[in-house]
């Protein structure tokens, strides 16, 4: 395997050469003790937090580890087949170009599209920007209205706000308590000048799956382009762009055990969808996304898509079992646990749970041995409660206590059991210090209390 050979070569360099490397060389990195190589007694200390070892990783919606088989497919294009895929005069360029086109077909096959409809980008954020702003800018003479939901990813919402500053109208539709869009409300919101409907397929914070085929039928009925951010759906739920009548679809590599820094945009050819490019340059990717296509990253994304196609059904069953193990393990030991979002229409690997009568930040810090998050990695620096949960009507105190557990291909039963143990222990510890929980146990209705103002 190429990855094993690569690691072997690096280890040889490590043993043969003393510490005289340039600071930025790979070999120097290999010989420098990393935090994870410290002894158990020393532990790991980073950003003021000290733990005994590397935490369990249950944050798959933020990013996923690269599958070793994906890395194997990428390494030759770093080490020997390093040609620019746009070089047309020699072998190095030809073999890189062939690899890019193979990856394009691997991505398109997973969503049941044509390879000619795939444009490679730097990630789903760029694909979302091209879709939302690119479509509206191209059709700006006739179309001035966009419809989206209040629970979209921040890059879609910010793109819509950017359009508003340019004079476009945007309707931010609410969702139900289960996180699902009301189809009647969507139909009523459509105007003659509506130029785009953008709805996320699988929500990144709560995992709910929107009724894509029904939304697609409505858009087709009114002749409106339909865009979806499918970064969290690709390789996890079945996707058929024809059945869903999707015009544009944003995809990401690092959510499906591929590399970071690469994504793709599906653009329907019939009926043809047009966009205004958001970046000018050498005209690569049919002029829609200029810039040299990063062959190793694209190859990695293609390999990840091919693996997902082969293993999606198995992964889904396994992850569903781990999700049930996690939820049953927690709810059997503590009360006041609420699952946010629909329990029927959701991706099993995303479990967003709120714990009543605990302080959210304390809970998160207490779970330092488990890598989880309180919401989107793109907005987790804010102490404000999740805007997605607030859109569901979740009360602020419960929104503050939400934890998103992300389960993936490499998650083990032992990790789930340990996460359950640590979560239950921390919630019980915080509730012991909570006067509100004591009042609830005594049968007092907290909501009926009129707190004095000071």
Sheet holding 402-406, edge to edge: 337-339, 350-355, 402-406
Q: Are strands 350-355 and 402-406 parallel, antiparallel or unpaired?
A: antiparallel
- Using alpha carbons, select from 177, 176, 173, 180 the residue that is nearest to residue 198: 173
Question: Angle at CA 328, nearest 5°, toward 407 and 430?
Answer: 90
Residues in the chain: 454
CA–CA distance, 84 with 58 (Å, rounded to integer): 37
Pull the structure tokens for residue 239: 């996707």
Among 155, 219, 305, 378, the one annotated catalytic:
378
At 431, which helix (H) or strand (E)?
Answer: helix 413-432
Could you identify the residue written with the tokens 């039928």? 217
SS3 string of 111-129? Answer: CCCCHHHEEEECCHHHHHH
- Using alpha carbons, select from 132, 109, 111, 147 the residue that is nearest to residue 243: 111
List the beta strands (DSSP E) in 268-376.
337-339, 350-355, 370-371
CB under 8 A, 24+ apart: contacts of 436-444: 436/357, 437/356, 437/357, 440/357
Outline where 223-294 has alpha helix (H).
241-244
Whether 266 contacts 248, CB under 8 Å: yes
For residue 123, the number of C-alpha atoms closer than 13 Å in the C-beta half-sphere is: 11
Pull the structure tokens for residue 86: 């746009």
- Sign of the CA dihedral with 39 first, then 40, 44, and 48 last: negative
- Using alpha carbons, select from 328, 330, 351 the residue that is nearest to residue 340: 351
CA–CA distance, 336 with 357 (Å, rounded to integer): 8
Q: 374: burial class by Cβ within 10 Å (0-12, 13-18, 19+)?
A: buried
DSSP 8-state class, residue 89: S
Whether 249 contacts 265, CB under 8 Å: yes
In the residue annotation, 378 being an active-site residue is answered as: yes
Which residues are marked as active site? 378
């Amino acid at each position: 395997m190429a990855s094993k050979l690569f690691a072997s070569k690096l280890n040889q360099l490590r043993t043969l050469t003393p510490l005289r490397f340039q600071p930025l060389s790979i070999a120097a990195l290999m010989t420098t003790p990393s935090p994870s190589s410290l002894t158990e007694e020393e532990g790991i200390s980073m950003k003021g937090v000290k733990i005994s070892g590397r935490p369990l990783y249950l944050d798959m919606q933020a990013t996923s580890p690269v599958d070793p088989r994906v890395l194997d497919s990428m390494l030759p294009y770093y080490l020997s087949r390093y040609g620019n895929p746009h070089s047309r005069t020699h072998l190095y360029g030809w073999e890189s170009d062939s690899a890019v086109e193979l990856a394009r077909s691997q991505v398109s096959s997973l969503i049941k599209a044509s390879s000619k409809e795939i444009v490679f980008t730097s990630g789903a954020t760029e694909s979302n920007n091209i879709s939302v702003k690119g479509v509206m800018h191209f059709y700006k003479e006739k179309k001035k209205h966009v419809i989206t939901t209040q629970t979209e990813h921040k890059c879609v919402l910010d793109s819509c706000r950017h359009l508003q500053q340019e004079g476009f109208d945007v309707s931010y539709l609410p969702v139900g308590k289960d996180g699902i869009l009301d189809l009647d409300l969507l139909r009523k919101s459509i105007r003659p000048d509506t130029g785009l409907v953008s709805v996320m397929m699988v929500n990144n914070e709560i995992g709910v799956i929107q009724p894509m085929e029904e939304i697609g039928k409505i858009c087709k009925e009114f002749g409106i382009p339909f865009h979806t951010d499918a970064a969290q759906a690709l390789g996890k739920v079945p996707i058929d762009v024809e059945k869903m009548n999707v015009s544009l679809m944003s995809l990401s590599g690092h959510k499906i055990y591929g590399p970071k820094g690469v994504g793709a945009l599906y653009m329907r050819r019939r009926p043809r969808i047009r966009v205004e490019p958001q970046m000018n340059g050498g005209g690569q990717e049919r002029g829609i996304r200029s810039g040299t296509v990063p062959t190793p990253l694209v190859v990695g994304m293609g390999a990840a898509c091919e693996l997902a196609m082969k293993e999606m059904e198995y992964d889904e069953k396994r992850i569903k079992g781990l999700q049930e193990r996690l939820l049953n393990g927690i709810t059997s030991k503590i009360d006041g646990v609420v699952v946010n979002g629909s329990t029927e229409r959701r991706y099993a690997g995303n479990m967003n749970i709120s714990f009543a009568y605990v302080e959210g930040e304390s809970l998160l810090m207490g779970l330092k041995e488990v890598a989880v998050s309180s919401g989107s990695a793109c907005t987790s620096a804010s102490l404000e409660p999740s805007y997605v949960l607030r859109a569901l009507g979740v009360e602020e105190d419960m929104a503050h206590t939400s934890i998103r557990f992300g389960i993936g291909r490499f998650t083990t039963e032992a990790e789930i059991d340990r996460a359950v143990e640590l979560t239950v222990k921390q919630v019980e510890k915080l509730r012991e210090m909570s006067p509100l929980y004591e009042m609830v146990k005594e049968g007092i209705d907290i909501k009926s209390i009129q707190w004095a103002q000071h």
